[in-house]
Amino acid sequence: MKKSLTLFLLLAALAITANAQKKPAGNFFNLAIQGAMPVSNNEYNFGIGISGQFEIPVSTDVHFTAGAGYISLQIKDSFKKILSAAGDNSSSHGFIPVQIGIKYFLSQQFYAAAQTGAVLGSKSGTGTAFIYSPGLGCVIPVQNGNAFDIGVRYEGWAQSNSLNFIGVHAAFKFGL
């Protein structure tokens, strides 16, 4: 986690010192890799996943987002024994989050985001949970309306057995 935070701060510093560029106009599609570190659940060690997100500017500073992805949460060894006794020999559980939200740009490169939606378990009987997710991020323009987008968030999945985690993402943002 310290490495992720250090990388985020380093990239943020680079973005500040780089030449200021205007945010490109138009819609975007972000393709990201995700990481998750559970903070409230004793079942999982960590998670890794991918996601895609459409981003539509509503104004200069506000963008509407809609996306989906897949995340695999790795089960802790101690919990694997419990699952094994119940006939489940899984080493991970897969989930499909579907979210909508808002990005508010605090400056040309830094933003605060809020998302909500639902997460579906890929295993039969897992059910659906409500998602809420505030976060912060940084967009680093490259060329031709494209950019790198990195961020960190707190994400909660509310169900009878809630899961909360610190999530990080690194995305390439394509101008459409």
User: CA 91, CA 99: separation in Å to the nearest integer?
Assistant: 26
pLDDT tens-digit readout, 28-40: 999 999 999 999 8
pLDDT for 126: 77
Residue 5 has pLDDT above 60, yes or no: no
pLDDT for 4: 44
pLDDT tens-digit readout, 42-79: 788 999 999 999 999 999 999 999 999 999 999 888 77
pLDDT tens-digit readout, 130-151: 999 999 999 999 988 899 999 9
Residue 118 has pLDDT above 90, yes or no: yes
> Which carries the bigger pLDDT value, residue 19 or residue 97?
97
Give the count of alpha carbons within 13 A of 109, CB side only. Answer: 19
User: CA 132, CA 51: separation in Å to the nearest integer?
Assistant: 16
pLDDT for 92: 85
Give the count of alpha carbons within 13 A of 83, CB side only. Answer: 15
Mean pLDDT score, 109-126: 91
Domain parsing of the chain, residue ranges: 2-175
E strands, the chain, are: 28-38, 44-57, 62-75, 92-105, 110-121, 128-141, 147-158, 163-175
The CATH class of the 2-175 domain is mainly beta
Residue 13 has pLDDT above 50, yes or no: no
